[in-house]
Amino acid sequence: MTTFTESYFTMTETDAIIYAKDHLTFFSEDAELSCKEIGDGNLNYVFRLVDSKSGDSLIIKQAGPVARISDEFKVSPDRNRIEHDILKIQGELVPEFVPEVYHYDPIMNCTAMQDLSNYTILRKAFLTHQTFPQLADHVSSFLVNTLLLTSDLVLGHKEKKDQVKAFINPELCEITEDLVYTEPFYDCPRNEVFEGTLPFVREEIWSDETLKLETAKLKFQFLTKAQSLIHGDFHTGSIFVTEDQTKVIDAEFAFYGPAGYDIGNIIANLIFAYVNGEQTIYDPIERERFTGYILTTIQDIINQFKEKFTYAFFDHVTERVAEYPGFLEHYLEELLADTAAVCGLELSRRVIGLAPVQDLTDIADPDKRAAAEIACLKAAKVFILNRHDFFHGEDFTRVLQEHT
Ligand code: SR1
Ligand code: MG
């Protein structure tokens, strides 16, 4: 019989059922459990367990020793601890926007959490052009509360340094350092560029020395700027939605990094939904409805973030010097420059690098796919090179409209 106490192994569906019966108090003694592995991400195994008697269900997420996407990535299963620990913190800061956590096991490197099967992954919902009127409100609140309340603006500096230590995440950070900040900007063998887009990439990205220098500066910012406890992979595949609820998952890339990383990431992924809509929706009224919604959502996320951040700043700031006149404005300006830059980096890496997004790869017509990808790259260059010119939501959408 399988035992779980001695050492780690990757579970099968049957193991997950035995594990739940032995280790979790969530199901009743006489539960009749079934299990399916439903993970479709790049890294982990996700088991959904259902009790056919009561209908109760939960998720067990287990980190394997290598990434699912490729065994080239040997990533420590300790990422499951990071994900569990940040879920606990987010559960205090933004309980309405994260799943409930029931159990963590440091030997099996797994976490049991709320089953969100009645939700849809936002990226998938966008591919069928669904819209969510409260998304900008929810995303901006999530970002303000997680990014401000974990920063030196609010936490005592010793406590913050303890948190920096607890969330040291070298292997997952290395994936980002390589896949986001390095490989897309030279002809790296691991890149996967679509044929129709390749000439643009060769001429306008890999040959642009000015752009490359800026990406080098940004990489060093990512390596050194321990500003806030960031999610670290805040794209539309990390957000579950219903019509009126939003839950953020998959924070295993979390560490203390530049706060603009999370904001720029989600804006770039909204842009992928926008270019997909532009290229695949034939009816002009329907196209306008969907792309108009994405533009408004981008503007609202940025503008509501600034507004909510300003209110929360005056409510929560404890650092004396941060109250000097002009400091808040300086902080927000820098945050928005970092946001614009990361937006450009994420746009580039999903077109050029190893981990593409379905919003682009699902565009069946090769000319339309190339048009969408080149639009992303043209906008990306503006976001990176002119990153100090972004102050309002409209500044972000203007770039998009000028390049699509
Ligand atoms: C090897 S992991 C590739 C990508 O998947 C994750 O979701 C992150 O975005 C990472 O860059
Ligand atoms: Mg993920």
In this structure, which residue's CA is closest to atom 2 in ligand 1? 42
pLDDT at residue 114, as a whole number: 98
Residue located via tokens 């102050």: 391
Region 319-339 average pLDDT: 98
In this structure, which residue's CA is closest to atom 8 in ligand 1? 233
- For CATH 3.30.200.20, list the domain ranges present in the chain: 13-114
pLDDT at residue 251, as a whole number: 96
Region 99-103 average pLDDT: 97
| Best mutation site among 40, 42, 169 for ligand 1 pocket (most ligand atoms within 8 Å of CB) | 42
Structure token pair of residue 120 = 């849809």
Phi, psi (deg, nearest 5) at residue 10: -80, 135
State how far the Cα of 62 lies from the Cα of 303, in Å rounded to an integer. 37
Residue 104: its H or E element: strand 101-105
The pLDDT tens digits of the residues spanning 358-403 come to 999 999 999 999 999 999 999 999 999 999 999 999 999 999 999 9
Under the banding of pLDDT at 50, 70 and 90, the label for residue 64 is confident
pLDDT at residue 3, as a whole number: 57
In the reported structure, the alpha carbon of residue 73 is separated from the centroid of ligand 2 by a whole-number distance in angstroms of: 14
State whether the beta carbon of 182 lies less than 6 angstroms from ligand 1: no
The pLDDT tens digits of the residues spanning 287-310 come to 999 999 999 999 999 999 999 999
**56, pLDDT greater than 70:** yes
In the reported structure, the alpha carbon of residue 67 is separated from the centroid of ligand 1 by a whole-number distance in angstroms of: 9
Region 54-72 average pLDDT: 90
152: which DSSP letter?
A: T
Give this prediction's pTM. 0.96
Structure token pair of residue 290 = 């969907």
259: which DSSP letter?
A: T
The class of domain 13-114 in CATH terms is alpha beta
**74, pLDDT greater than 90:** no
When the candidates are 3.90.1200.10, 3.40.50.620, 1.20.1630.10, 3.30.70.20, the CATH number that belongs to 120-403 is 3.90.1200.10
State how far the Cα of 326 lies from the Cα of 84, in Å rounded to an integer. 37
In this structure, which residue's CA is closest to atom 3 in ligand 1? 355
- For CATH 3.90.1200.10, list the domain ranges present in the chain: 120-403
96: which DSSP letter?
A: G
Region 312-341 average pLDDT: 98
Concatenated DSSP letters of 160-195? HHHHHHHT--HHHHHHHHHHTTTGGGTT-TT----G
pLDDT at residue 5, as a whole number: 59
Summary mean pLDDT of the chain: 96
pLDDT at residue 156, as a whole number: 98
Under the banding of pLDDT at 50, 70 and 90, the label for residue 404 is confident
pLDDT at residue 72, as a whole number: 83
pLDDT at residue 244, as a whole number: 96
Residue 61: its H or E element: strand 57-62
**242, pLDDT greater than 80:** yes
Q: What contacts 167, CB < 8 A, 6 or more positions away? A: 82, 85, 86, 229, 254, 255, 256
